[in-house]
């Protein structure tokens, strides 16, 4: 039997155990700007663009890269790369330009210095 008809544990997904604690851990602490993805070239470009956006705004150019699939899934992201600003997913599945990231950060309250 292939498992059809079996009840799935609601806290289990293809990426591992996802529960409220995992979600809280994924979204808490660390950098205010995060790039979610497995480290492909698009993820690296998005991270570089995020660093440039932070520098343009006169902010600390700290971008956290999240590659753990359980943490990525905890954000509800199904398509990478994804950009998280202030704990919220603001983009998923595309590479944003530096200017697009600056605009998103300004919406979140960041002002150029």
pLDDT in tens, 36-51: 999 899 999 999 999 9
The token pair at 55 is 């520098």
Beta-carbon-side half-sphere exposure of residue 55 (alpha carbons within 13 Å): 7
The pLDDT of 54-66, averaged and rounded, is: 92
Neighbours of 110 (CB within 10 A): 20
| pLDDT (0 to 100) of residue 12 | 44
**Annotated catalytic sites, by residue?**
40, 43
Rounded-to-integer distance, Cα 43 and Cα 80, Å: 7
| pLDDT per position as a tens digit, 65-107 | 999 999 999 999 999 999 999 889 999 999 999 999 999 988 8
More confident residue, 53 or 21: 53
């Amino acid at each position: 039997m292939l498992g059809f008809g079996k009840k799935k544990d609601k806290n289990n997904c293809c990426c591992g155990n996802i529960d409220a604690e995992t979600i809280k851990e994924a979204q808490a602490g660390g950098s205010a700007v995060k790039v979610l993805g497995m480290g492909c070239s698009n993820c690296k470009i998005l991270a570089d663009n995020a660093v440039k956006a932070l520098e343009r705004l006169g902010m600390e150019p700290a971008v956290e890269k999240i590659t753990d699939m359980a943490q990525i899934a905890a954000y509800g992201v199904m398509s990478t790369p994804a950009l998280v600003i202030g704990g919220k997913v603001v983009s998923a599945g595309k590479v944003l330009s530096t200017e697009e990231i600056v605009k998103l950060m300004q919406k979140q309250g960041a002002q150029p210095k």
